[in-house]
Chains A and B, each alone.
Chain A
């Protein structure tokens, strides 16, 4: 695994995978903590910054993720609840939670 770049102090790093990465055309993004203090806030901030994510990973209206997408916090825990509070320096993975193959 390639080491993740350090998250700027005070920010929340987003890592995109699968269809989300294709939609935004980049691997990572950093959101200021003041607009990304919770997963719900991350959803809203991402929808505003990357409209292509709406319908791909974010549900229409920006109220949550589409079926099959989920957040993972710091590569460890999956977090289904959008009211989850984040800490500065956290890394949020936006992934498609489907196996197969």
Chain B
């Protein structure tokens, strides 16, 4: 019987040999892992050898689809990128959206798994054409191009070859130079976190192009249409008003007022120029256009343009980019932030990690540990010094010797290289720089940051919602936060696996039950809310198991020293703090809530409960990694 919602196979591509082949995926694996990040975590564990260098040819790079993609369900045009993160050494999972996700689904694969490395810069084309499913083309002429130019060039070349309408995932110069937080970009969007672009660059793969015509089979189209109609109605109501009207930049003023807006490398939690870079001000002065992803009824993306001197630049701007290139660096100039965000997007750099790493370096300059000088500039790197930032981004994206190469390593490795005690203000968890939420003022989220498998992340643990709920004291650390953080992770895991945009999470009456219904209508596999909740826990455990195989230890679940030593200096929470002992209490609560050991390990009984001890998801069932041929001398285009 044909699968609904799934293809039931993945495409394996070995760039070293130029070979590609399809492999079947057990339907039980699909059911247990759902798709997206869940399926991707399973596949990553399958194909990623323990201890592998994330930038070695044998390290896999995955593009993963999900069952709801390609259906009419709103906000589901998304895909997941997975790799062992070169920034953290642990699981690196990232989402992006829009047309590329639809093309991936139409190719007829649940995932594309890429291993090996090209001998020279190339781009890979995957289609649903049975006579020519895969082709590799030389891309030396694209080296050095930014993400937009690369997308445009590859799509034009493919159109000239008779493959109009292909969509592309590309890297910019930062990926080519293996900046550890380089992004993978498509349709003007980015799989931003964890350095997937560096992995792609290590394979000398400039782009992946996808084109297909396949249709998604849906088990119960009538009931799916009814459920989707309800979802669409709510997705255009008050629950998503903030996203539609102001976009996520609306957070700036709220976070500033609450004293949770990280400023000057987390040295302050309010910003004197918050109004100047607020969503409200951007909307009033700089707004150019509001758009949305493919298959989306929310339409949250706000494009802003610069005003005044210099050529006009237009850029998408989300809160995280705004915070990381604004208050975190002491920058209160909206024009500058728009230009910097656009530059990051063109270079293919994660704005959060770029801002976090530059902020660390600025504090090193402030403390006299680093000169911060860049060639040709009169002023060194420093908080609020706008003019040096374009040169700093360019230097790090190209790994120019000195400061550029240092910044390309991220704050953790940068601090290890520089020394001088600078680890104390390197604001990362497991190597991943903190997003724009002050943990000392949101202590459930602080726990979420500390234990997150991919490092500090607000998207994999929306535990801040508990801090915003009024049900808990946001300045207090308690054992019971463990349950809340675990639940937040599991919910995110389900949404990231189906995949449904988190911006409509408030549009469900019962998130698990309603999502289970959607999943049932698409796949035909009767699924309850309880099943889906358990799947969320299973996926969280799969992530943890991947990290354990890659050498995770208890000490990795922590927060930067600044958070655990210094108290908030300003804002409504001035004087509040979070000690290491208090964090450890919450972590103990989290491990207990998960049914893990006190050391954070997953006991056999829990593996059994989650169907991870035997069957297709058991470690013993994971096939050995495929052997890899050495890079072929000059990769020919496949006929």
Binding site for B on A (CB under 8 A): 1-2, 15, 17-19, 21-22, 55-57, 66-70, 72, 74-81, 93, 95-101
Considering only residues 216-258 of chain B, those with a C-beta below 8 Å from chain A are: 238-239, 241-243, 245-251, 253-254, 256-258
Measured CB to CB, the nearest residue on chain A to B256 is A1
Grouping DSSP codes into helix (H, G, I), strand (E, B) and loop, the B interface class, with mixed when no group exceeds half, is: helix
CA distance A67 to B253 in the complex (A): 20
Nearest chain A CB to B510 CB, angstrom units: 13
How does the 8 Å CB contact mask read for B242-284 relative to A, with 1 for contact and 0 for none? 1101111111011011110100000000111011000110010
13 sampled A-B residue pairs with Cβ under 8 A: A2-B272, A15-B257, A68-B238, A68-B241, A68-B242, A70-B469, A75-B258, A75-B572, A93-B258, A95-B254, A97-B469, A99-B462, A101-B247
B280 pairs with A21, CB closer than 8 A: yes
Given contacts A96-B250, A101-B318, are A19 and B506 in contact (CB under 8 A)?
no
Nearest chain B CB to A99 CB, angstrom units: 5
Chain B residues near A57: list those with CB within 8 A: 238
CA distance A93 to B258 in the complex (A): 10
B241 pairs with A19, CB closer than 8 A: yes
Binding site for A on B (CB under 8 A): 238-239, 241-243, 245-251, 253-254, 256-259, 261, 270-272, 274-275, 279-280, 283, 318-322, 436-437, 458, 462, 464-465, 467-471, 473-474, 502-503, 506, 570-573
Chain A residues near B242: list those with CB within 8 A: 18-19, 68, 96, 98
Chain B residues near A98: list those with CB within 8 A: 242-243, 465, 503, 506
- The 5 closest A-B CB pairs, nearest first, are A101-B248, A101-B319, A78-B470, A1-B270, A75-B572
Q: A56-B238, A78-B469, A99-B248 are in contact. List 18 more A-B contacts (CB 8 A).
A: A17-B253, A18-B242, A18-B245, A18-B253, A19-B246, A22-B246, A22-B283, A74-B572, A75-B571, A78-B467, A95-B254, A96-B242, A97-B465, A97-B469, A98-B242, A100-B319, A101-B318, A101-B320
CA distance A70 to B437 in the complex (A): 18
CA distance A57 to B238 in the complex (A): 8
B470 pairs with A75, CB closer than 8 A: no
A1 pairs with B468, CB closer than 8 A: no
Chain B residues near A77: list those with CB within 8 A: 470, 473-474
A100 pairs with B248, CB closer than 8 A: yes
Nearest chain A CB to B299 CB, angstrom units: 14
Measured CB to CB, the nearest residue on chain A to B318 is A101
Q: Which of A77, A80, A99 has the most CB of B within 10 A?
A: A99
Partner of A100, one of B238, B243, B283: B243
CA distance A74 to B571 in the complex (A): 11
Chain B residues near A22: list those with CB within 8 A: 245-246, 280, 283
Nearest chain A CB to B149 CB, angstrom units: 26
A78 pairs with B474, CB closer than 8 A: yes
B251 pairs with A99, CB closer than 8 A: yes
CA distance A19 to B272 in the complex (A): 22
CA distance A55 to B236 in the complex (A): 12
Nearest chain A CB to B319 CB, angstrom units: 3
Q: Which of A19, A95, A101 has the most CB of B within 10 A?
A: A101
Chain B residues near A74: list those with CB within 8 A: 572
A99 pairs with B469, CB closer than 8 A: no
Measured CB to CB, the nearest residue on chain B to A65 is B238
A17 pairs with B250, CB closer than 8 A: yes
Chain A residues near B436: list those with CB within 8 A: 101
Q: Which of B270, B280, B318 has the most CB of A within 10 A?
A: B280
CA distance A86 to B570 in the complex (A): 24
Nearest chain A CB to B302 CB, angstrom units: 11
